Structure 1
Amino acid sequence: MTEAFDDDAALRAIGWPWPGAAEDAAWQALCQAHPQAVPARVIEQHRSGYVVCRGPDDALRPESLPEWQRPRFPAHERPAVGDWVLVEEAKRIVALLPRHTAIKRAAAGEHYHQQVIAANVDVVFIVCGLDADFNPRRIERYLMLVGGGGAEPVVVLTKADQTEYAADALEVLADLAAQRIPLRTVNAKDAESVAQLHAWLGPGRTAVLVGSSGAGKSTLTNTLLGSERMKTGAVRQTDSRGRHTTTHRALIPLPSGACLIDTPGMRELKPTGEEDLAEGGFADIEELATHCRFRDCSHQGDPGCAVQAAIDADELDPGRLANYLKLQEEVATAAAKLAKRVAEQQGKVGRRPRKR
C-alpha cells in the first residue's frame, strides 16, 4: 500500500510529499497503521463536513470522525483545507495526518480558540489592492500570522493597472523588502503580469491567498487558472471594499501543477500567541532591540534605546514601531490565554475520577 502511494502521480499532483520529505516518515507510519485506508486531501471545508480528493479530477464527501462533530472539540484539531486525511472505503475519515505547516488565527469571541486558515502550504500570497485597500499595517499583521507557521510569505499588490503609485507603495514597504520578503505589483487580470508568481507555483507546491474582500484574490485565481472559475465582484468606490464573493475556503489544482487555496476576506486577524515577530516582518526592530542599554527596554523613551535612536535618525518608520509594540502586546496577551487554556486541559486530563 505504501509503495503504491510513492508512485501515485495523482497524489503528487495535489501535494503528496516525495520520499525523504520531512513529513514523509510520520505520514507513511500512519498509512501503515491503517492498511485499509488511502490518503486524500481536504479541498473544501463546510459546516456539514468535508470534500476530499485523491487527485485533481475526483471528489469525495466522506463521514468525519465522531469526535470532530462534538461542539467542544478544538476547532484547530479538526481538518482544514489543505490537510491530508486517511479514508476507508471512500466513506469515512479514520485519521488526520500531521501538518507540516499551518496558517492560524485566534477566532473572534471571548473564549480563546484557534482557527486554521490553511494547512500544509508552501507559500502565502498576502494580497492587497493598490487602491483604498492598501494598508501597510494590515500587511504587517498578516506577516505576523504567517511568521513561524513554516510557509514563505509573498506580498502581492494588485490593481497596479489602476494607479501610478505602485512604485511609491513599494518604497513604503522597503523595510519588508530589506528583510528579503518578496514584494510584487501585478495587474490581477493580466496573465503576463501574474506570471511573476509562477516561481512559487511549481509542481506539487501549495499556495494560499489571504487578504481583504475586494483585494483581487478571486480575480488572481481566475488568471492563474486561465478560466473564469471563481466569482468576482466590483468594490465600493468609497473604501474599495468588496462583497464576499468567495464564501468558503477551497483548494484548486492549477495548470502549473501547483495547488492554490482561495480564502474569503478576513476582517479580524487576531494572534494565537504562538507568533514570532522576528519571523513575521519585524526582524529589523528585534535586531535593533538587542542593542538597547536595558534588556527590558520599552522603546518608548527609555535611555539608551537603540530603536528610538533609529527613529530619530530617520532609519525606522515610527508607524512600524507603533504597530510592532501593539502586536507585541496582542501576542503576549494571546500567549497568556493559550497557557491558561493548556493548563486547564492538562488539569482535566490529569484529574482522577471521583469514587462513588
Structure 2
Amino acid sequence: MSSTSSSTSVFTAHSTLTRYGWDEDWADAFAPYAAEGLLPGRVVRVDRGQCDVATTDGTLRADTAFVTPHDPLRVVCTGDWVAVEPDGSPRYVRTCLPRRTAFVRSTSSKRSEGQILAANVDHAIVAVSLAAELDLARIERFLALAWESGAQPLVVLTKADLVPDPVTLAYLVADVETAAPGVTVLSVSAEHGEGIDVLSAVVGGGTAVLLGQSGAGKSTLANALLGEDVMDVQAIRDVDGKGRHTTTTRNLLALPGGGVLIDTPGLRGVGLWDAGTGVGQVFAEIEELGRDCRFHDCAHESEPGCAVLAAIDGGELPERRLESYRKLMRENQRIVAKTDARLRAEIRKEWKRRGAAGKAAMEAKRGRVR
C-alpha cells in the first residue's frame, strides 16, 4: 500500500475526530504510529502528569510519563495531537506529533524558562474588557506573543454593552486598531449576543485560543461561542470592573458551528519568550520606517537621519508606540541573551560603546565650559 493511500485510510478510520481539527496532514503524520496499533487523539486538558485525550473511542485519561522531557517547551500541552495506547490501565501517551504552532510565554522563574500555553492554534483571540481603561501596551504585548506563535491574532473588546454611546465605542475600537496593525478588532457583548455571530464566523473551522487577563470576560465569551454555559462565570466587581479568576485549567472544547476553542486561565504576567519577530509584526510601521534611517543599526533615540524620530516630529507616529516598541525589544533581548552567549557578548559590547560615547560627550562638554 502506498504512503498516500495509507494516510488516507488512517484519516478515514478516525474521521470522527474532524470536529477536533483532524485532517489529512495529521493523518499523514500519524501513519507510522497507526502501523504500531496506537490511537490518534487530541489533548483537551492536562493535569499533573495526566491528560484527557479526545479519540475515536471517546475521551480517554492517559499518563504522560513516557513523553515528559526536561525541556518545558516539549511537555504535553492542551491542543497537542498525540499517539495513545489502545488499552491498558493506565493508558500512556507514547508520543506527540510535531506542532504546527505554539503559544509560549516566559515564566517568572529566574532560569527564564518558557511555558507553552496552547498548541496547534490557528487564531489567538486577545480578550480585552471595556469595563476598565484600555491598556494598549498590554494589548501589544499579547499580540507580539500571538504573532510569534504562528497564529493569526484577533482582538475582541468584550462587555461592549458597558459603552452605550456608539461614538465612544468607535473611538475605543480605533485606538486599539492603532496598536494592532494587520489585526481585526471586534467589539462584542456576550450578554446581549452582539458581535458573536461575526466572531464565530472568523474562528469557525480552526482552533482558537482565548487569552487575556482575569476578568476580561473570556469565560462568558466562551459560553456564548459554545451556545451553552460550560464555563463558570463570576460577576465583575463594582470597584474596578474586573471579574474574579474563574478558569483554572486550559480546556479544549468543540464549537457547535465547527472548530475548537481553548480557554485559558487569566494571565497576570505575560512575559515575552524569544518573540523578536512577533514584536516586529506588532510594530510593523516602525520597522518599515526604520528601513529609511541613515544608519542600518539605528536605535531611534538621537541618531541623525532617523526616519522614526522624524515621523514622530511630523505627527505621523505616536511617541507612545515607539516607547512601547523599545520596551518590548529590550525585554525580548534580555530573555534571549540569557540563553545565547553570542548575543550577551554583543549586548556588553554595545553597552561599552554607548558608555564610551557618553563619556566622550561629557568630556567635550566640560572642555567647552572651560
Q: TM-score, normalised by structure 1?
A: 0.87
Q: Does 1:63 align with 2:66?
A: no
| 2:142 aligned partner | 142
Matched residue, 1:254: 255
1:9-20 pair list within 5 angstroms = 9-17=15-23, 19=24
Amino acid in the other structure paired with 1:5:
V
In structure 1, give the amino acid aligned to 2:79: G
> What secondary structure is seen at the aligned counterpart in 1 of 2:221?
helix
Of the three residues 74, 77, 83, the one matched with 2:74 is 77
Task: For 1:233 and 1:30, locate their aligned partners in 2 and report how far apart those are by CA, in whole Å.
Answer: 46
Instruction: State the secondary structure of the residue aligned to 2:195.
Output: helix
Q: SS at the partner of 2:148?
A: coil
Q: Deviations over 1:183-241 (max 9, x none)?
A: 101102233421111222333x1100000111110000111111111101122233323
For the structure 1 residues 198 and 279, does the alpha-carbon distance in structure 2 shift closer, same or farther, using more than 3 Å as the test? Answer: farther
Q: 1:146 to 1:298 in 2, by over 3 A?
A: same
* Overall identity of the aligned pairs, in %: 38
For residues 5-31 of structure 1, the C-alpha deviation after alignment (integer angstroms, 9 at most, x for no partner) is: 3113311110112x3x4x664x13543
* Cα pair 2:11 2:27 within 8 Å, conserved: no
Counterpart Cα distance in 2 of 1:74 and 1:133: 38
Structure-2 residue corresponding to 1:124: 124
The 1-side partners of 2:290 and 2:79 are apart by: 37
Matched with 2:96 is 96
Kept in 2, the 8 Å contact 1:147–1:275? The answer is no
Q: Deviations over 1:138-166 (max 9, x none)?
A: 11000111123211000000111101332
Summarize the alignment of residues 151-230 of structure 1 with structure 2, pairs less than 5 Å apart. 151-163=151-163, 164=165, 165-176=168-179, 179-203=181-205, 205-230=206-231
Q: 1:58 to 1:194 in 2, by over 3 A?
A: same
> Which structure 2 segments of 5+ residues have no match?
1-5, 343-370
Q: Distance in 2 between matches of 1:67 and 1:171?
A: 45
Deviations along 1:302-349, whole A, 9 cap, x unmatched?
2111111111111111111101000001111111123259xxxxxxxx
User: In structure 2, what is the Cα distance between the partners aligned to 1:311 and 1:4?
Assistant: 59
Cα displacement (A) at 1:283: 0.8
Which position in structure 2 is the counterpart of 1:349? none
Q: Aligned partners of 2:203 and 2:179: how far apart in 1?
A: 22
Indicate if the aligned counterparts of 2:64 and 2:76 stay in contact, CA closer than 8 A: no
Structure-2 residue corresponding to 1:6? 11
Q: Deviations over 1:92-115 (max 9, x none)?
A: 111111000011001112012111
Q: Does structure 1 residue 38 correspond to structure 2 residue 35?
A: no
1:283-298 matches, within 5 Å, as: 283-298=284-299
Residue type of the alignment partner of 2:10: F
In 1, Cα distance between equivalents of 2:94 and 2:177: 47
Q: Secondary structure at the match of 2:266?
A: coil
Asked if residue 281 in structure 1 is aligned to residue 282 in structure 2, the reply is yes
The whole-number CA distance in structure 1 between the counterparts of 2:286 and 2:105 is 23
Give the distance between the partners of 1:301 and 1:279, measured in 2 at CA. 21
Residues of 1 paired with 2:210 and 2:121: CA distance? 10
Going from structure 1 to structure 2, the CA distance change for 1:279 and 1:9 (only over 3 Å counts) comes to farther
Q: Give distance in 1, aligned partners of 2:275 and 2:158.
A: 30
RMSD: 2.3
In the alignment, the residues of structure 1 paired with residue 46 and residue 72 of structure 2 have an alpha-carbon distance, to the nearest angstrom, of 12
Paired residue secondary structure (1:154):
strand
Moved over 4 A (4+): none
Distance 1:311 1:294 in 2: 18
Taking the aligned partners of 1:340 and 1:89, their CA distance within structure 2 comes to: 45
Higher relative contact order (CA 8 A, sep 6+): 1
Residue of structure 2 equivalent to 1:310: 311
Could you tell me how far 1:171 is from its partner in structure 2?
Answer: 1.9
For 2:20, give the aligned amino acid.
I
User: CA offset at residue 134 of structure 1?
Assistant: 2.2
In 1, Cα distance between the equivalents of 2:59 and 2:280? 36
Q: Judging changes above 3 Å, is the alpha-carbon distance between structure 1 residues 302 and 337 closer, same or farther for their aligned structure 2 residues?
A: same
CA distance in 2, matches of 1:240, 1:111: 35
Residues 51 and 60 in structure 1, CA contact (< 8 A), matched pair in contact too: yes
Structure 1 CA distance, aligned partners of 2:16 and 2:152?
Answer: 25
Distance in 2, matches of 1:158 and 1:197, equals 12
